[in-house]
């Protein structure tokens, strides 16, 4: 609902005053127009939709007996004293005292401003609005708003408080606003259909604008605002629905049927029973795949909840229908991980599998197992349709990669979301179905709004027997005790991670600290154990080797930067320390600790942090308190704000002007 050229404001009529410059209004010259422009206000319409930040409710009138400290209120009385003096510290103070008929009084106090002296006179009836406090033996108000009650203009009203900019006087903006409303409010086009508006008892847009700017009572403003928020969400949803429909109507996807035989055959490949949530997701996916409209589905689940198993199910449906399917991971490590998972399930099947990343091209078949092949060769067989399933990285969507009969694209976004959802694979002929997986649980409210053009499946339930991760925020003094706990568990054959942060701005510094930390641990507290080091600067094959050693239990302890955040599935690893935990976001911490709940044993995660901000403190408390990813995601969005939460400013929300996805959703 911005008035920029690419998205015309639906409120604008064809030939209205609304689009005219604010200079069109009396009293607004070039200078004031420039100030308004700083607030993003250019047209009269911009001005009308510049809603107050808050209100000063001057209708809250108290008698002198009812005065309450710290609450905005209005007190009436007669001016009985006007006095100026200088304080010890050199500040000038002006004091105006008003009294009621009983002689009870309140003092208005102004520092370094004598303007008030010219505005009031002895014996005059005035109203002070402000927050009183008790000072020594009497009530005072600092810089109260003063209104002369004998003045025709003086009214006790609700005064809008606007976001301002240096040099713009509030009373001027209020006057200009009144003028704009009088001139142009009636021209604003109503976009909420009448029946909807009536049903919800929302005021007409013109009335709502008046009420939002100059409410007669505070309830009025709330209802008017609700109307604008509702309207904004309505437009967003309609836009998403239109986009979704136009995508579907334009595209043709292959119909992939799932027969009971296919279903039974696929299920037999898993060494476990699928959970009810996995089944529910599969039912939706099966239905989508059977249609000739491409599936656009988002699969959300916490780390380790079993998304990959669901994705493999879907891919095998494509294969059973003699089509190809691909699974694209964000990193090399994760692609390798998925490859391994898939090999576990499919080693004995006839499905022809391949891995394609920047560094690796592999083909695996029932007869020959897995073996490296020349990339050229792999590309040829993909194009010939002699491979059924491919796992890989972004390498999969390069131009040179072509598929004979691609029917399904699975994109694993791990801890991001939305960013790649529309990544397009070079297609031959038909459009494939899309399944996007994310391990960052998205608050329901956000998912519905942002991904209104995607269908959503959620797996909340963890596979049976999965334990919660005990999470403790520890003080430095407990470090030795935690180390002792680790040694005890490592002796029993468990494995552990020690995670050090790596932030882009000071990569080198953090790297040294991870390396230093590794040296210290290896020489000191864990000298009797096999300690490995893994960080982003290692060459890829070195990374693979270290991970492999850890997986094969040739290492007891792995000191790592966040590279382990994605793609480490070592059920025997049950312990984790996160250093400088305050530097990690909530979702990141949650992802990290997910690494020590991959098996049947309860994981333990210890956080060390030199905490500097309240926000960091709240984060660490939240992560210690809850293990539910959805609750944390909501908390995360609340603490960081949505922009940060999405990690990009380019999300599809545009700028919500009135609504807040978290607070206004219901
Ligand atoms: P995600 O992709 O959501 O992180 P995965 O599909 O990789 O989760 O599953 C995590 C682990 O749980 C894997 O070791 C997998 O074999 C196991 N798993 C998945 N689904 C089930 C299930 N229904 N019952 C038991 N174990 C499961
Ligand atoms: Mg996974």
How does pLDDT run across 165-182, given as a tens digit for each residue? Answer: 888 888 889 999 999 999
203: DSSP letter = P
Distance from C-alpha of 489 to C-alpha of 499, rounded to nearest angstrom = 18
pLDDT digits (tens, 9 = 90+) for 108-129: 999 888 888 888 899 998 889 8
- pLDDT above 60 (res 94): yes
pLDDT digits (tens, 9 = 90+) for 625-647: 988 877 887 787 777 665 555 54
For residues 565-585, give the mean pLDDT: 82
Ligand 1, atom 10, lies closest to the CA of 304
Quick check: 162 and 40 in contact, CB under 8 A? no
Q: Which of 561, 492, 566 is nearest to 532 (CA)?
A: 561
Q: Name the burial class of residue 151, with classes exposed (0-12), middle (13-18) and buried (19+) by CB atoms within 10 angstroms of its CB.
A: exposed
Question: If you measure from the C-alpha of residue 305 to the centroid of ligand 2, how many angstroms do you get, rounded to a whole number?
Answer: 8
Q: Which of 302, 303, 306 to mutate to test the pocket of ligand 1 (most atoms within 8 A of CB)?
A: 306
Ligand 1 test: best mutation among 272, 309, 596, 599, most atoms within 8 Å of CB? 309
Average pLDDT of 82-94?
87
Determine the distance separating the centroid of ligand 2 and the alpha carbon of 567, expressed in angstroms: 7
Element (H, E) at 296: strand 296-301
Residue 7 clears pLDDT 50, i.e. is over it: no
Give the list of residues 6+ apart from residue 325 with CB closer than 8 angstroms, or none.
314, 315, 316, 318, 319, 388, 389, 390, 406, 407, 408, 409, 410
pLDDT at 140: 95
What are the DSSP calls for 441-499, one per residue? PPPHHHHHHHTTTSEEEEE-SPPTTPPPPEEEEE-GGGHHHHHHHHHHHHHTT-EEEEE
- Mean pLDDT for 76-103 is 90
Q: How large is the average pLDDT for residues 492-521?
A: 77
The DSSP bridge pattern shows strands 296-301 and 433-438 to be parallel
Print burial letters for 282-305: b (CB count within 10 Å at least 16), e (below 16): beebbebbeeebbbbbbbbbbbbb
Is pLDDT above 90 for 569? no
Ligand 2 centroid from CA 412, angstroms: 8
End-to-end alpha-carbon separation of the chain, Å?
20
Q: Which ligand is nearest to the CA of 271?
A: 1
Size (the chain), residues: 666
How many Å apart are CA 517 and CA 608, to the nearest integer? 14
pLDDT at residue 641, as a whole number? 65
CA of 596 to the centre of ligand 1 (A): 14
Query: What are the backbone angles phi and psi of residue 284, rounded to the nearest 5°?
Result: -65, -45
* Chain centroid, CA 518 distance in Å: 34
Determine the pLDDT at residue 370.
85
What's the 286 CA to ligand 1 centre distance in angstroms? 19
Ligand 1 centroid – CA 581 distance (Å) = 27
**What's the pLDDT at 648?**
42
The predicted model gives 400-411 an average pLDDT of 91
Q: How many CA atoms lie within 13 A of 208 on its CB side?
A: 25
Q: What confidence tens digit (pLDDT) does each residue in 39-55 have?
A: 989 999 999 999 998 88
Give residue 308 CA to ligand 1 midpoint distance, Å: 7
Determine which residue's CA is closest to atom 25 belonging to ligand 1. 463
The pLDDT tens digits for 11-38 are 665 567 888 899 989 989 999 999 999 9
Distance 112 CA to ligand 2 centre (A): 64
Q: Among the bound ligands, name the one nearest to the CA of residue 342.
A: 1
Coarse DSSP helix, strand, coil percentages of the chain, rounded to the nearest 5 percent: 40, 20, 40
The pLDDT of residue 165 is: 86
Among candidates 615, 605, 607, 661, which has minimal Cα distance to 636? 615
CA-nearest residue, atom 23 of ligand 1 = 274
Q: What is the mean pLDDT of residues 365-374?
A: 86
The Å distance, Cα 503 to ligand 1 centre, comes to: 30
pLDDT at 6: 41
Ligand 1 atom closest to 571 (CA): 14
Tell me which residue of 162, 157, 158 sits closest to 51, measured CA to CA.
162
- Rounded to the nearest angstrom, the distance between the alpha carbon of 439 and the centre of ligand 1 is 13
Reference 201, options 181, 182, 219, 178; nearest CA is 219
Contact call for residues 534 and 500 (beta carbons, < 8 A)? no
As a whole number, mean pLDDT of residues 205-209 equals 96
pLDDT tens-place string over residues 281-309: 999 999 999 999 889 888 988 877 899 99
Q: Predicted confidence band at 463 (pLDDT cuts at 50, 70, 90)?
A: confident
User: Of all protein residues, whose CA lies closest to atom 11 belonging to ligand 1?
Assistant: 304
Q: What percent of the chain has pLDDT over 90?
A: 45
If pLDDT is split at 50, 70 and 90, which confidence band does 541 have? confident
The answer on pLDDT for 421 being more than 60 is no
For residue 564, report the distance from its CA to the centre of ligand 1, in Å. 18
pLDDT category at 5 given cuts 50, 70, 90 is very low
Looking at residue 147, its pLDDT comes to 82
Which atom from ligand 1 is nearest to the alpha carbon of 309?
6
Measuring from atom 4 of ligand 1, which residue has the nearest CA?
304
- Distance, in Å, from the CA atom of 134 to the CA atom of 63, rounded to the nearest integer, reads 15
Most confident of 331-335, 370-374, 561-565, 573-577: 573-577
Examine the pLDDT at 498 and tell me if it is beyond 60: yes
Q: Which ligand is nearest to the CA of 463?
A: 1
Q: In what order do the strands lie in the sheet with 406-412?
A: 369-372, 361-365, 353-356, 389-392, 324-328, 406-412, 433-438, 296-301, 455-459
Nearest CA to ligand 1 atom 27: 463
pLDDT digits (tens, 9 = 90+) for 255-274: 999 999 999 999 999 999 99
Which atom of ligand 1 is nearest the CA belonging to 344? Answer: 16
- Scanning the structure block, which residue is given the tokens 């006087």? 169
Rounded Cα distance between 479 and 577, Å, is 10
Mean pLDDT of 49-73: 88
List the residue whose alpha carbon is closest to atom 14 of ligand 1: 598
Mean of the per-residue pLDDT values of the chain: 84
Q: How confident is the model at residue 154 (pLDDT cuts 50, 70, 90)?
A: low
Rg (CA), the chain: 33
State what percent of residues in the chain have pLDDT above 70. 86
Nearest to 432 by CA among 394, 392, 404, 400: 404
The pLDDT tens digits for 438-456 are 877 666 656 655 666 678 8
DSSP character for 2? Answer: -
| Residue whose C-alpha is closest to residue 127's, from 92, 160, 104, 100 | 100
Per-residue confidence (pLDDT) for residue 438, from 0 to 100: 83
Residues with CB under 6 A from ligand 1: 272-275, 278, 301, 303-309, 341, 463, 569
């Amino acid at each position: 609902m911005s008035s920029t050229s690419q998205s015309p404001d639906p409120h604008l009529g064809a030939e209205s005053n609304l689009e005219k410059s604010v200079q069109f209004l009396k009293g607004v010259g070039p200078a004031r127009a420039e100030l308004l422009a700083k607030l993003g206000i250019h047209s009269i319409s911009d001005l009308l939709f510049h809603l107050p930040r808050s209100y000063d409710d001057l209708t809250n009138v108290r008698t002198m007996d009812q005065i309450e400290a710290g609450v905005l209120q209005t007190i009436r009385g007669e001016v009985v004293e006007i006095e100026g003096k200088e304080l010890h510290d050199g500040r000038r103070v002006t004091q105006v005292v008003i009294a009621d008929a009983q002689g009870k009084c309140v003092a208005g106090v102004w520092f370094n401003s004598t303007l008030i002296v010219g505005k009031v006179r002895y014996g005059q009836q005035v109203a002070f609005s402000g927050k009183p406090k008790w000072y020594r033996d009497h009530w005072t108000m600092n810089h109260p708003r003063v209104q002369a009650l004998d003045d025709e203009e003086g009214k006790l009203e609700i005064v809008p408080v606007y976001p301002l900019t240096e040099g713009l006087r509030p009373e001027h903006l209020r006057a200009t606003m009144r003028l704009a409303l009088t001139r142009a409010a009636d021209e604003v086009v109503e976009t909420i259909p009448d029946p909807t508006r009536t049903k919800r008892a929302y005021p007409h847009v013109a009335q709502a604008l008046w009420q939002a700017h100059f409410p007669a009572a505070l309830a009025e403003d709330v209802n008017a605002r609700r109307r604008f928020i509702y309207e904004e969400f309505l437009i967003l949803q309609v836009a998403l629905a239109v986009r979704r429909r136009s995508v579907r109507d334009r595209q043709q996807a292959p119909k992939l049927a799932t027969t009971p035989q296919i279903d039974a055959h696929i299920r037999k490949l898993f060494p476990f029973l699928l959970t009810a949530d996995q089944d529910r997701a599969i039912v939706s996916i099966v239905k989508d795949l059977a249609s000739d409209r491409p599936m656009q589905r988002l699969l959300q689940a916490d780390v380790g909840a079993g998304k990959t198993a669901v994705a493999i199910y879907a891919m095998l449906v494509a294969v059973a229908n003699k089509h190809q399917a691909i699974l694209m991971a964000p990193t090399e490590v994760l692609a390798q991980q998925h490859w391994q998972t898939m090999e576990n399930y499919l080693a004995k099947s006839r499905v022809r599998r391949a891995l394609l990343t920047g560094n690796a091209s592999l083909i695996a078949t029932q007869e020959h197992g897995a073996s490296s092949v020349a990339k050229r060769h792999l590309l040829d067989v993909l194009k010939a349709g002699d491979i059924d399933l491919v796992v890989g990285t972004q390498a999969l969507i390069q131009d040179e990669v072509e598929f004979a009969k691609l029917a399904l694209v699975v994109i694993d976004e791990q801890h991001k979301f939305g960013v790649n959802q529309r990544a397009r694979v070079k297609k031959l002929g038909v459009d494939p179905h899309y399944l996007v997986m994310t391990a960052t649980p998205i608050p329901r409210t956000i998912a519905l709004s942002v991904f209104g053009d995607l269908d959503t499946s959620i797996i909340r339930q963890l596979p049976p027997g999965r334990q919660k991760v005990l999470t403790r925020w520890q003080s430095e003094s407990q470090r030795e005790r935690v180390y002792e706990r680790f040694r005890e568990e490592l002796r029993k054959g468990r494995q552990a991670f020690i995670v050090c942060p790596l932030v882009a701005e000071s990569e080198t510094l953090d790297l040294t600290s991870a390396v230093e930390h590794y040296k210290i641990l290896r020489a000191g507290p864990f000298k009797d154990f096999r300690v490995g080091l893994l960080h982003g600067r290692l060459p890829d094959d070195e990374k693979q080797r270290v991970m492999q050693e850890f997986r094969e239990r040739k290492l007891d302890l792995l000191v790592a930067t966040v590279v382990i955040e994605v793609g480490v599935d070592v059920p025997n690893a049950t312990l984790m320390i996160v250093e400088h935990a305050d530097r990690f976001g909530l979702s990141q911490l949650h992802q990290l600790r997910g690494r020590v709940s991959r098996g049947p044993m309860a994981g333990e995660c210890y956080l060390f942090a030199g905490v500097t901000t309240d926000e960091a403190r709240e984060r660490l408390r939240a992560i210690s308190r809850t293990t539910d990813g959805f609750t944390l995601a909501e908390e995360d969005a609340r603490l960081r704000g949505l922009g940060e939460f999405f990690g990009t400013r380019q999300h599809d929300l545009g700028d919500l002007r009135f609504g807040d996805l978290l607070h206004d959703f219901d």
